[in-house]
Structure 1
Amino acid sequence: MFLEKTGILGLNRRRRPDQHRWIKAKKDRRRNNAAVVGGYLVLRFGYDDVVHHPERMIAQVQTVLELQRRGRFGP
């Protein structure tokens, strides 16, 4: 999901099999790093953040959008 053309919001699945966890984590890190190198901000949230603490997640997204509006982030 893109935010204001310079940000990415990532949502992780609730659970994944242990044998695939390290493979998925490695792919996630590479994708995250490629996004940052490409000039995007990245916020990543897990199931617990979205379901049990959405107010924290929303506050962080709003903070980043406000900082971006003020010129703190972006091209």
Structure 2
Amino acid sequence: MIRRTWTHLTLWLGLLAVIGGALLVATTPRASFGWFAYAPLSDYAFVAGPPSWQTLLGYALVVLGLVSAAFAAGRLSVRRR
């Protein structure tokens, strides 16, 4: 018989956060400009802006999910039966 514990819940929520973050990053629209509109001999250098909030949130969810899932998996691996 398997007992459901907070560690199991943490493991599944961590894996769900990883999947959700990866989907959020994958479905975020990309920038619509290209490198074709530049002046090669000018002194102005193009500096890209910060990434969108969806991308940052997706990466944060992936990292948080990986950390929590790794913690739960490590805790489950050393648990006494």
Shorter chain as normaliser: what TM range? 0.3 to 0.5
Larger strand share, 1 or 2: 1
Taking structure 2 as the reference length, the TM-score comes to 0.31
Higher relative contact order (CA 8 A, sep 6+): 2
Taking structure 1 as the reference length, the TM-score comes to 0.33
Tell me which structure has the larger Cα radius of gyration.
2
